[in-house]
Amino acid sequence: MLRQRFTGLWRHADFIRVWIGQTVSVFGSLIGGPALAFTAILILHATPFQLGVLAAARLAPGVLTGLFAGAWADRLRRRPIMIGADIGRAMLLATIPLAAVLGLLRIQQLYVVTFLVGVLTVLFDVAYQSYLPSLIAREDLVEGNSKVSASASVAEVSGLALAGWLVQLLTAPIAILIDAISFVVSAVSVWLIQAPEQAPVCGERASMRREVAEGLLAVLRHPLLRVLAACTLSKEFFSGVYGALVIFYMVRDLGFAPGILGTIWAVGGISSLAGAMATGGVTRRLGIGPAMIVGLLLSSIAMFFIPLAQGATLTAALLLILQQISGDGPATIYQINEVSLRQAITPERLLGRVNASAEFLRLSATLAGSLLGGLIGGWIGVRSMLFVASFGTLLSTFWLVYSPIRALRKCPGSLVEPIS
């Protein structure tokens, strides 16, 4: 049964190319992301507020440029945007190990590089999410997103485990170089795609501002997209608070070494892989709406386990592992269905702007949460803020519970079948 579910796109050569590129890129980012945080904490001795600013530097580009990225993705060919973004990210990240070797690395450089990489990441992500439905059939979107998510989970197992030990053995800045190389591989994989990309429809165009507004209005006026947007704003705000402080808490307050943390995080990759592989079956059995609710509910409950841990003890380590096991799989089920639903119900001509609008809302909420978490975390305590963020994320589930999504069994063009 499992084999049959994952064979539909195996013979689609161009999808395999982009799939491989995304897997390698995710692998590199799972090393580079933690390595960047460890660089700030262990080498530059960043404070909670500085970590909040660093998280904000990563998220601010989505707020400032995300909506325009969607308009560009609808006006221009999407493959060149993806290739250019990958090459740019590789070059920017390579400056961090270079500065570290020369003894010139400062927290301000991390802010600048993180911000510029964030700009390019927004461009890539919006172009990619809008390009995939033109590369594969819409009825294959759940399968395609599940495959990408499954391989990303495999990369998470090895990438996060390797990240911690690379930081300990080679130092954090040098580990970031692997992330830079992975973006080069991703650029090559997209460049090798042979299917011609359909040119954007030419003709008289509205102003950029009007096109951006059209994407936002499409989200606000569609009953399902509107609920997804509200849930995203709430969920990502509290996730921003949580994400800005969680590594600081595990390193400074609990006292775990990077290698141990990387190994613990790798367990989450196994859980994510299980979630990706189970998404099709869970969604067919429960329906896409209930599957999203269950996924978000369970992943939110799992967030409480980390602030429950105290000290670098065996019990604390088990709580961190339990969070990875019980949280990452359900979160993956939610994410796959959320993206697939949005892609399936959005017209082709609006895909770039609707995806960008969703990304804009997500990053805006996460940015606000990161800044608030970094600011208040140093005042009332990091552990207390993690509890608040966990509770807030849990409450976000009610946006889905009290909406039409609760009764949704399938989305247009997906593989999800109605329940008999």
Cβ contact 227:125 at 8 Å: no
Alpha-carbon distance 36 to 171, whole Å?
11
Among residues 276, 291, 268, 10, the alpha carbon closest in space to that of 164 is found at: 268
Q: What is the pLDDT of residue 145?
A: 65
User: If 0-12 CB within 10 Å is exposed, 13-18 middle and 19+ buried, where does residue 103 land?
Assistant: exposed
**pLDDT on residue 150:** 67
Task: Please state, in angstroms and rounded to a whole number, the distance separating the CA atoms of residues 143 and 64.
Answer: 32
Task: Give CA separation, 252 vs 41, 256, 258, 282, in Å.
Answer: 9, 8, 11, 39
Angle at 301 between CA 58 and CA 320, to 5 degrees: 70
The closest of 18, 25, 20 to 180, measured between CA atoms, is: 25
* pLDDT given for residue 418 in this prediction: 33
Chain mean pLDDT for the chain = 80
In this prediction, residue 3 carries a pLDDT of 36
Domains and CATH numbers, the chain: 11-190+208-407 (1.20.1250.20)
DSSP-H helix ranges across 136-257: 141-170, 172-191, 208-221, 223-248
| CB-based contact 41:98 (threshold 8 Å) | no
Rounded Cα distance between 144 and 9, Å, is 7
Cα–Cα distance measured from residue 284 to residue 297, given in angstroms and rounded to the nearest whole number: 19
pTM: 0.67
CB 28 within 8 A of CB 181: yes
Torsional sign, CA 101, 106, 111, 112: negative
pLDDT beneath 50, residues of the chain: 1-7, 413-420
Token code pair at residue 376: 């208040």
State how far the Cα of 254 lies from the Cα of 308, in Å rounded to an integer: 11
Alpha-carbon dihedral sign for residues 401, 403, 407, 411: negative
pLDDT tens digit string along 193-238?
A: 876 666 665 555 556 677 777 777 888 888 888 899 899 899 999 9
Helix (H), strand (E), coil (C) string for 245-296? HHHHHHHHHCCCCHHHHHHHHHHHHHHHHHHHHHHHHHHHHHCHHHHHHHHH
What pLDDT is attached to residue 154? 66
- Residues 6+ away with beta carbon under 8 Å from 59: 118, 240, 363, 366, 367, 370
- For residue 1, what pLDDT is reported? 31
How far apart are the C-alpha atoms of 63 and 120, rounded to whole Å? Answer: 13
